[in-house]
A = this chain, B = another copy of it.
Amino acid sequence: MRPTRLGPPDAGIQATAPAGPAATARITSLTVHDIRFPTSRELDGSDAMNPDPDYSAAYVVLGTDAPDGLAGHGFAFTIGRGNDVQAVAIAALRPYLIGRSVAELCADPGSLSRDLVGDSQLRWLGPEKGVMHMAIGAVVNAVWDLAAKRRGEPLWRFLAHAEPEWLVSQVDFRYLTDALTPGEALALLRAGRDGLAAREAGLRDRGYPAYTTSPGWLGYSDAKLTRLAEEAVAAGFTQIKLKVGADLADDLRRCRTARAVVGPDIRIAVDANQRWDVAEAITWTRALAEIDPYWIEEPTSPDDVLGHAAVRRAVAPVRVATGEHVQNRIVFKQLLQAGAVDVLQIDAARVGGVNENLAVLLLAAKYGVPVCPHAGGVGLCELVQHLSMFDYLALSGTTENRAIEYVDHLHEHFVTPVEIRDGHYTAPTAPGFSAELRPGTLTTYSYPDGTFWTADRAARTTEHTAAHKEEQG
């Protein structure tokens, strides 16, 4: 019988697991794949700072010698060049994983997180930021995936039913205690349990609200924007998002077009992707205020806490949102302390994995700021839905003014892709973190030797040769 509430570290499994191979299973392999999709050719994902992304994943698979044959899957998301560097950083963590007890790791993913973040030499490469921190996040998330699969639960449910004391033990409070203590976190989680069963029933019934960015990429024509905005409303979305920041006249035209299409009751968020300095962010956002934007996202550098605070003071009632590029819990803490944001946007694959996102969700709950995750790219929707569903069930207790970003790209590459119904994410039912790519995707889009990239190079060579012959001819 599967316990409906998880105890501390894998107690259920330890109490019932047979002696022998399952109890002594070890991590036996850490495999990394450099996966790239040629998304730049369609201008999918184009914004003011990222005009030509090739959505990519440095994808990690943890193998074990357990008889259940389960593997842990995780990834860092990048947008093309540098995905090889990210893959090497993940591979550098192999010695920390190989030979480790699967039961112990899954009972306490926080122990791995602390080992990796606190490594006395690796931390010089951050600390807790950039390539090395994203690598840690990928590996830690793979352990959570494995832990949830072994428990036979989707991650959102594994987390929502875990004991508050155990969840608190999974959070690294270093550098947070001036804003949030372990005792406060425990109180928030205990209070969050009230009404869990009713919320879970509602979640299974209706799902979690989504908003869509699909209409709003900067490279799309007005006709495509119009069509996609109409489709978004028809599909049940109550919020869409438009990229802005390259040209103010263009932005105004596109925003007015979108407002005319969706009417006054659909929220339109706008997203500058870090394009502006503080003064420019204020001027530009005020100019866009006529179309009633719901929030301005990433108005300036994700590192600029004080800058965001200045922008927020100046552009109210337009809300300020940020977080997809925020490097760690310490910067999230300051955004909240400084009153710099109205909406916090976590990303499942930028910080140090589930453990650090637990810290960020707890901080947001303490400060009463809604979390509306960043998603899209490749697999970010698949991952982050679990964190928002946990947040709703066991922490915030509400979906009001909350929605997960949704972008309709590349889901077909996942074994258990997200499902959107009537503008909501359906609660996943498959055990794990929804992070596993299909085998065909690995063979096709591995870079540079997958079948797609090999054929692509051959085609370019042929074109080049033909053009050369024509010139010569």
Contact assessment for A82 and B121 in the assembled complex, using a CB-CB cutoff below 8 Å: yes
Contacts of A133 in B (CB 8 A): 130
Question: Given the known A-B contacts A79-B121, A125-B130, are A306 and B175 also in contact in the complex, defined by CB atoms under 8 Å?
Answer: no
Q: Does A119 contact B (CB under 8 A)?
A: yes
Question: Given the known A-B contacts A49-B120, A54-B121, are A306 and B277 also in contact in the complex, defined by CB atoms under 8 Å?
Answer: no
Contact assessment for A177 and B84 in the assembled complex, using a CB-CB cutoff below 8 Å: no
**In the bound complex, CA of A334 to CA of B335 (Å):** 13
**In the bound complex, CA of A177 to CA of B310 (Å):** 13
**In the bound complex, CA of A54 to CA of B120 (Å):** 10
A330 nearest CB neighbor, chain B only: B303
Stretch with Cβ within 8 A of B (4 or more), from A15-23, A86-94, A218-226:
A86-94
**In the bound complex, CA of A131 to CA of B54 (Å):** 21
A residues 77-134 near B (Cβ < 8 Å) are: 77-82, 84-86, 88-89, 92, 119-134
Interface residues on A, range: 35 or more
Contact assessment for B277 and A178 in the assembled complex, using a CB-CB cutoff below 8 Å: yes
Contacts of A277 in B (CB 8 A): 173-178
Mark interface residues in A282-314 (1 if CB within 8 Å of B CB, else 0).
000000000000000000111111110010000
**In the bound complex, CA of A228 to CA of B125 (Å):** 30
**In the bound complex, CA of A32 to CA of B277 (Å):** 35
**In the bound complex, CA of A450 to CA of B128 (Å):** 31
Q: Does A13 contact B (CB under 8 A)?
A: no
**In the bound complex, CA of A128 to CA of B274 (Å):** 12
Contact assessment for B334 and A78 in the assembled complex, using a CB-CB cutoff below 8 Å: no
Contact assessment for A89 and B122 in the assembled complex, using a CB-CB cutoff below 8 Å: no
Contact assessment for B132 and A131 in the assembled complex, using a CB-CB cutoff below 8 Å: yes
Measured CB to CB, the closest approach of chain B to A410, in angstroms, equals 16
Q: Does A337 contact B (CB under 8 A)?
A: yes
Measured CB to CB, the closest approach of chain B to A328, in angstroms, equals 7
Q: Does A193 contact B (CB under 8 A)?
A: no
Contacts of A119 in B (CB 8 A): 81
Q: Does A267 contact B (CB under 8 A)?
A: no
Contact assessment for B85 and A131 in the assembled complex, using a CB-CB cutoff below 8 Å: yes
Question: Given the known A-B contacts A125-B131, A131-B130, are A304 and B334 also in contact in the complex, defined by CB atoms under 8 Å?
Answer: yes
Contact assessment for A327 and B305 in the assembled complex, using a CB-CB cutoff below 8 Å: no
Query: Chain A's interface: helix, strand, loop or mixed, by majority?
Result: loop
A residues 233-259 near B (Cβ < 8 Å) are: none
Measured CB to CB, the closest approach of chain B to A38, in angstroms, equals 13
Contact assessment for A127 and B274 in the assembled complex, using a CB-CB cutoff below 8 Å: yes
A133 nearest CB neighbor, chain B only: B130
Q: Does A50 contact B (CB under 8 A)?
A: yes
**In the bound complex, CA of A51 to CA of B124 (Å):** 12
Contact assessment for B127 and A302 in the assembled complex, using a CB-CB cutoff below 8 Å: yes
**In the bound complex, CA of A280 to CA of B278 (Å):** 34
Measured CB to CB, the closest approach of chain B to A174, in angstroms, equals 7
Q: Does A413 contact B (CB under 8 A)?
A: no
Contacts of A124 in B (CB 8 A): 50, 53, 77-79, 82
Contact assessment for A303 and B278 in the assembled complex, using a CB-CB cutoff below 8 Å: no
Query: Which interface residue of A175, A278, A337 has the most chain B CB atoms within 10 A?
Result: A175
Contacts of A303 in B (CB 8 A): 128-129, 175, 327-328, 330-331, 334
A331 nearest CB neighbor, chain B only: B303
Q: Does A279 contact B (CB under 8 A)?
A: yes
Contacts of A306 in B (CB 8 A): 305, 334, 337-338
Contact assessment for B123 and A49 in the assembled complex, using a CB-CB cutoff below 8 Å: yes
Contacts of A382 in B (CB 8 A): none
**In the bound complex, CA of A333 to CA of B121 (Å):** 28
Query: Which interface residue of A50, A79, A125, A277 has the most chain B CB atoms within 10 A?
Result: A125
Question: Given the known A-B contacts A130-B129, A277-B175, A325-B127, are A122 and B304 also in contact in the complex, defined by CB atoms under 8 Å?
Answer: no
A304 nearest CB neighbor, chain B only: B330
Q: Does A44 contact B (CB under 8 A)?
A: no
Contact assessment for A129 and B327 in the assembled complex, using a CB-CB cutoff below 8 Å: yes
A125 nearest CB neighbor, chain B only: B82
8 new A-B contacts, CB < 8 A, other than A49-B120, A50-B123, A175-B301, are A82-B92, A125-B130, A129-B303, A130-B133, A176-B277, A177-B279, A303-B331, A304-B333
Query: 10 smallest A-B Cβ distances: which pairs?
Result: A130-B130, A131-B131, A80-B121, A178-B278, A81-B121, A303-B330, A175-B301, A79-B124, A177-B277, A82-B125
